[in-house]
Structure 1
Amino acid sequence: MAEAIVIGMQPRPGKFEELAMLIKQMVEEVRKHAGCLQAEAMLSPDRNEIAVFQRWETTEAFSEYLIWRSKQAHLERVYDLSADEPEFSSFTLITPPATSPTAY
């Protein structure tokens, strides 16, 4: 089953734009990673929040991506620009059968 990931971040004061640009670059990278079905950055300057949504073919594909990402310099910079540790949530996507778009 497909896996969905939501990552929420709150930038340090005055660091919203810098973190947003870094996240945009990272989202472009993740889209190229094997098993990534979708990756989007979501910005809310009024609430000082940045979120990332990712959809993966499998949990294993996401795990392989995490191993790769943990070795990249960008991740350390995300932590430096964030007020708190980013919040990660993962979900198994429930996809309805093709014959019944509303049945779960």
Structure 2
Amino acid sequence: MTEAVIIGLHPRPGKFSELTALVQQMVKEVRRHAGCLQADILLAPDRDEISVFQRWQNPEAFSEYLIWRSKQDHLDRVYELSAAEPDLSSFTLCEPG
């Protein structure tokens, strides 16, 4: 079953643009990862919010991605630029019909 993931980020004051640029780079990598069907960035600069929406072929593909991502340097930089822990929610997509 297809897995949908929403990651919410809250940049430190004055770090919105820097975190956005980093997330854009990371999303390019996500899109090339096996099992990724979609990865998009959602920006709300007036609320200092950045979200990433991802769709994966299945929960296993997302799990494999998380293991890979945890070993990358970018994740440490995300934490440095964020005011709080990223919010991560995953859902099994309910297909119509």
- Smaller-chain TM-score bracket: over 0.9
Q: Which has the higher contact order (CA 8 A, sep 6+)?
A: 2
Name the structure 1 match of 2:60: 60
Q: TM-score, normalised by structure 1?
A: 0.92
Where does structure 1 differ by over 2 angstroms across 4 or more consecutive aligned residues?
none
CA apart distance, 1:87: 0.3
| Deviation of 1:26 (Å) | 0.3
Amino acid at match of 2:75: L
CA RMSD for the aligned pairs? 0.5
AA matched with 1:61: A
Question: 2:77 is paired with a residue of what secondary structure?
Answer: helix
Hey, what's the Cα distance between the residues in 2 that align with 1:68 and 1:30? 10
What is the correspondence of 1:1-104 to structure 2 with a 5 Å cutoff?
Answer: 1-96=1-96, 103=97
Task: Find the aligned partners of 1:13 and 1:32 in 2 and give their Cα distance.
Answer: 31
Q: Which runs of 5+ in 2 are unaligned?
A: none
What TM-score results when the alignment is normalised by the length of structure 2? 0.99
